[in-house]
Structure 1
Amino acid sequence: MINEIKKINLNNWILIAMVLGFIVGMALNLFVTDTFIKDTLLVDNIFHFGGTAFINLMKMLVVPLVFCSIVVGTASIINTKKIGNITIEIIVLYLATTLIAVCLGVLISTVLQPGNGLNMAGSVYTSNITANVTLTDNLLNMIPSNPISSLANGEIIPTIIFALIVGSILSILKEETSAVRNFFTQFNKIMIKMTFIVMKLAPIGVFCLMATTFATLGIDALMPLFKFIICVILAIIIQAVIIYPILMMIFTRLSPVNFIKKYSPVLLFAFSSTSSNATIPLNLEKLSQLGISNEISSLSIPLGATINMDGNAIMQGCAIMFATQAYGMDLGLSALITIIFTAVIASVSAAGIPSAAIISMNMLFMSVGLPLDIIAIIMGIDHFLDMFRTAINVLGDAVCTIIVSFRNNALDKDIFNGKKG
């Protein structure tokens, strides 16, 4: 029995914690009338301590983890990848599809309003972005006038920009700064290990936050979660069956239907494995069978598995709108543009680190001053959504690779169309 319990992985423990939190919360809401037991003892003390402690641990991770991973990633990519027109084209295309994905998540969540009904407007929080701040002011606030202060205060965007600058300079100076590069590389390993340790406590945090939510709000909190799931999956489906085919038709005139028929085994593997990295070998093999040059796919697919996370971007767009609706926050155009820009950076910069989707959502929420409580609740359904996110991530890598290959005469049309083997 003990051995069977040990075999349960973290994602399943989080799911179990979510279900138990829901059951306990609903039981308290429906059947416990003693305010001392329900509110004073459990909700305001035990559950509050467990949930808040986990949230504080996640906050502790974000700034040093993001800073070190971006410094190391920027230095290594610029230094080891042969930067040329093809590489730049791949990166620009990845950023473009990520931007579309974020906007799609924001648009669908704005229409379906998943956060309405969660009624968390009474919670006290301070937002860093308000509707009456101009876009120019928000852009100026992204420039780190005091990077140490930005690091200390958890200001995510200035921290990211400073990290990009430091990483780029490390790459330019190369061996002259090997000691500094080694420091960041080793510290990044420490932060990744710390992330694994903190995430082991996620079931406790999820249970406490779920129990608190449903003990306070009751069954009314369930429908917004279902609507959030629908928003994410709907946005992913639109990205897969509308956005990607349109891009293929515009840039290549090749048949998206023909491509999907041949590529479906890769999508099924990605969906079941929930790992973009594990799908890389099969992805490369299938693209080669479709007539794609190995020279381009061997660069674009591993790079895409690292920085091209359209599924994560969609979830971030949905999550930020879900949270702002739940907390009754009205966004102006300036704030919305800033949030979209932040989400793109968060999606790209958090890729490749443990629990990338959760870490990037932490970055996004912290950048606009929203509480992280809702993220911990979303974690309970994250593994289910991760299957869809991974599939769209892998599909996006393949579509961008096809477009770049076609534009650089590195795609055999006859093989792609099945006219020759």
Structure 2
Amino acid sequence: MTAKERKKVGTTTWIVISMVLGVIAGVIGGQAMAQVQFVGDIFFHLVQMGIVPFVMCTIIVAVGALTPQALSGFGLKGIMIFAVSSFVAAGLGIGLSMIFQPGTGLGNTALVQDAAYESSASAVTFQDTLVGFFGSNIIASMSAGSMVQCIVFAIALGLVISFWRTTHNGECKVYDFIGELCQLLLNIIRGVMRIAPIGIFCYVASMVGSLGAEVLVPLVKYLLVMAACVLLMFVLYFVAVAVVCRVNPIALVRKMWPMSALALGTISSAITLPVAIEDTKNKIGVRHDITDLLLPLGMPLNSNGAAIHLAVTAITIAQIYGIAFSGTELLYVWVIAFLLSLANAVSPGASLVSLTMIVPQLGLPMASIGIFAGLEYPTGAIRTILNVDGDVFAAMLVAGRKGIDREVFDGKKTAVDDA
């Protein structure tokens, strides 16, 4: 156990070092560092190639091992926590944006005057959002990376397997096969993660080099408001888990640091998921069945950071163009930001897709998306750390004191699979 822990700490340290060096290289090298982005892209592609089947297999195995009573118990409780936390996050984004006015004074800047975005709008209604949760072709859904559709299918197959095992003395060859496939996919992801520091360095260096101070400086207030919202959500979460789970918040921060660092470096909930699952079980001590179900399920459905990003960006755009929202209109922004966060993509580059959905919904100019086109890395880092850690907090709240192994949390023993 000691050697394993040292290895994990070493990997996290290298990831942090690679991020710092990437920022320095990006600042010094500027646009020239864009030439190394392909290395970072290769790393992300290698990890992502197995993420969709890994998430599906994890959920199928988790649901297939549960009784209908257990699934309807902590499964529904987890979904309720996802919904409440994302709704609160969107509300915080709107509230702080109205207080600090991050878009005020930017209307006449070159950044806004030169902004352009040539893509067409993606008008999405509430009904469209719900229909989009259900795919008509699972192969097409997997190919497109539509995680919500894939998860709906995985839950359905898991339920069928659960009923099958109940009536066949716990036996199901498909369940056994998917369980082994899940472990093999996890081993592939673990192997690829060995080169994470190199891939993250190249990606961060290229993003920072391409960004430029002329883009970043005018929007510092916008980024600070987003960061303040995320910080407030963390405070709320830590208070909640300290009260409900009776854990030491400082010790919890140390245990969640590796997944948090990886989230900051990769800006992808999907890539961070395998590490988050392992650490939630083996460091925090959350029950395996709760972890295996809620963390993959929370990846698209518990995007607190995405809800904040959409809310803050929408209000900032309105302030830039001098558009004032009334009380009922602000409520509409709140609900739209919350709903669209559920359909948020889980890989780098997803923020612009989300903005093409919310901007036309609110009657804001599509050209405004161009203002934020270069901010994928800083906004991604801010929102992804909350997206990832929020899933862990939700799992802890569902588990409660009785669902967390204190000896594992205190480092006195190693968690055992299927314990």
TM-score bin, normalised by smaller chain = 0.5 to 0.7
**Quick check: 1:307–1:351 contact (8 Å CA) kept in 2?**
no
Q: Is residue 88 of structure 1 aligned with residue 76 of structure 2?
A: yes
Partner in structure 2 of residue 154 of structure 1: 123
Which residue of 263, 273, 278 maps to 2:256?
A: 263
Question: Matches of 1:381 and 1:11 in 2, distance apart?
Answer: 17
Query: How has the CA–CA distance of structure 1 residues 4 and 375 changed in structure 2, closer, same or farther, with 3 Å as cutoff?
Result: closer
Question: Cα distance, 1:321 vs. partner?
Answer: 0.8
SS in structure 1 of the partner of residue 128 of structure 2: helix
Q: Is residue 8 of structure 1 aligned with residue 1 of structure 2?
A: no
Which residue of 228, 240, 249 maps to 1:234?
A: 228
Partner in structure 2 of residue 33 of structure 1: none
Instruction: Write the deviation string for residues 381-403 of structure 1: whole angstroms up to 9, x where unpaired.
Output: 22122122222211111111111
Once the two structures are superposed, the pairs formed by residues 350-365 of structure 1 within 5 Å of their partners are 350-352=344-346, 355-365=349-359
**AA matched with 2:338:** V
Q: Is residue 99 of structure 1 aligned with residue 87 of structure 2?
A: yes
Question: Matches of 1:273 and 1:258 in 2, distance apart?
Answer: 24
- Bigger Rg over Cα: 1
Question: Matches of 2:252 and 2:63 in 1, distance apart?
Answer: 28
Which residue of 132, 140, 152 maps to 1:186?
A: 140
Question: Matches of 1:81 and 1:159 in 2, distance apart?
Answer: 27
Query: How has the CA–CA distance of structure 1 residues 120 and 157 changed in structure 2, closer, same or farther, with 3 Å as cutoff?
Result: farther
Query: How has the CA–CA distance of structure 1 residues 275 and 255 changed in structure 2, closer, same or farther, with 3 Å as cutoff?
Result: same
Question: Matches of 2:405 and 2:216 in 1, distance apart?
Answer: 50
Query: How has the CA–CA distance of structure 1 residues 369 and 8 changed in structure 2, closer, same or farther, with 3 Å as cutoff?
Result: same
Question: Matches of 2:256 and 2:413 in 1, distance apart?
Answer: 17
**Quick check: 2:89–2:233 contact (8 Å CA) kept in 1?**
yes
Question: Cα distance, 1:9 vs. partner?
Answer: 4.4
Instruction: Write the deviation string for residues 49-106 of structure 1: whole angstroms up to 9, x where unpaired.
Output: xxxxxxxxxxxxxxxxxxxxxxxx9xxx99x956522111111111211112111111
Q: Is residue 315 of structure 1 aligned with residue 309 of structure 2?
A: yes
**AA matched with 2:126:** I
SS in structure 1 of the partner of residue 221 of structure 2: helix
**Quick check: 2:336–2:358 contact (8 Å CA) kept in 1?**
yes
Partner in structure 1 of residue 266 of structure 2: 273
Question: Cα distance, 1:5 vs. partner?
Answer: 6.4
Question: Matches of 1:185 and 1:291 in 2, distance apart?
Answer: 35
How large is the Cα RMSD of the aligned pairs?
3.9
**Quick check: 2:260–2:388 contact (8 Å CA) kept in 1?**
yes
Query: How has the CA–CA distance of structure 1 residues 383 and 10 changed in structure 2, closer, same or farther, with 3 Å as cutoff?
Result: farther
Question: Cα distance, 1:320 vs. partner?
Answer: 0.8
**Quick check: 2:285–2:409 contact (8 Å CA) kept in 1?**
yes
Where structure 2 has 5 or more consecutive residues not aligned to the other structure, the ranges are 1-31, 42-54, 65-70, 114-120, 147-210, 415-419
Partner in structure 2 of residue 338 of structure 1: 332
SS in structure 2 of the partner of residue 323 of structure 1: helix
**Quick check: 1:108–1:235 contact (8 Å CA) kept in 2?**
yes
Question: Cα distance, 1:163 vs. partner?
Answer: 4.0
- What is the percentage of aligned positions where both structures have the same residue? 24
Question: Matches of 2:141 and 2:273 in 1, distance apart?
Answer: 27
**AA matched with 2:76:** I
Which residue of 96, 115, 124 maps to 2:103?
A: 115
**Quick check: 1:105–1:317 contact (8 Å CA) kept in 2?**
yes
SS in structure 2 of the partner of residue 331 of structure 1: coil
Question: Matches of 1:4 and 1:153 in 2, distance apart?
Answer: 32
SS in structure 1 of the partner of residue 374 of structure 2: helix
Instruction: Write the deviation string for residues 21-75 of structure 1: whole angstroms up to 9, x where unpaired.
Output: xxxxxxxxxxxxxxxxxxxxxxxxxxxxxxxxxxxxxxxxxxxxxxxxxxxx9xx
Where structure 1 has 5 or more consecutive residues not aligned to the other structure, the ranges are 13-72, 124-151, 171-180, 193-209, 211-218
Instruction: Write the deviation string for residues 150-198 of structure 1: whole angstroms up to 9, x where unpaired.
Output: xx9935334224445xx3xx8xxxxxxxxxx22x853884698xxxxxx
Question: Matches of 2:305 and 2:33 in 1, distance apart?
Answer: 32
**Quick check: 2:266–2:348 contact (8 Å CA) kept in 1?**
no
Once the two structures are superposed, the pairs formed by residues 139-218 of structure 1 within 5 Å of their partners are 154-163=123-132, 167=134, 181-182=136-137, 186=140, 189=143
Query: How has the CA–CA distance of structure 1 residues 248 and 390 changed in structure 2, closer, same or farther, with 3 Å as cutoff?
Result: same
Equivalent residues, number:
290
| Range 344-353 or range 3-12, more displaced | 3-12
Question: Matches of 1:253 and 1:403 in 2, distance apart?
Answer: 10
**Quick check: 2:396–2:404 contact (8 Å CA) kept in 1?**
yes
TM-score by length of structure 2 reads 0.60
Question: Matches of 1:11 and 1:225 in 2, distance apart?
Answer: 26
Question: Matches of 1:388 and 1:257 in 2, distance apart?
Answer: 21
**Quick check: 2:348–2:376 contact (8 Å CA) kept in 1?**
no
SS in structure 2 of the partner of residue 288 of structure 1: helix
SS in structure 1 of the partner of residue 37 of structure 2: coil
**Quick check: 1:347–1:357 contact (8 Å CA) kept in 2?**
no
Partner in structure 1 of residue 323 of structure 2: 329
**Quick check: 1:117–1:224 contact (8 Å CA) kept in 2?**
no
Query: How has the CA–CA distance of structure 1 residues 111 and 239 changed in structure 2, closer, same or farther, with 3 Å as cutoff?
Result: same
Question: Matches of 1:307 and 1:235 in 2, distance apart?
Answer: 19
Question: Cα distance, 1:339 vs. partner?
Answer: 1.0
Query: How has the CA–CA distance of structure 1 residues 366 and 250 changed in structure 2, closer, same or farther, with 3 Å as cutoff?
Result: farther
Partner in structure 2 of residue 372 of structure 1: 366
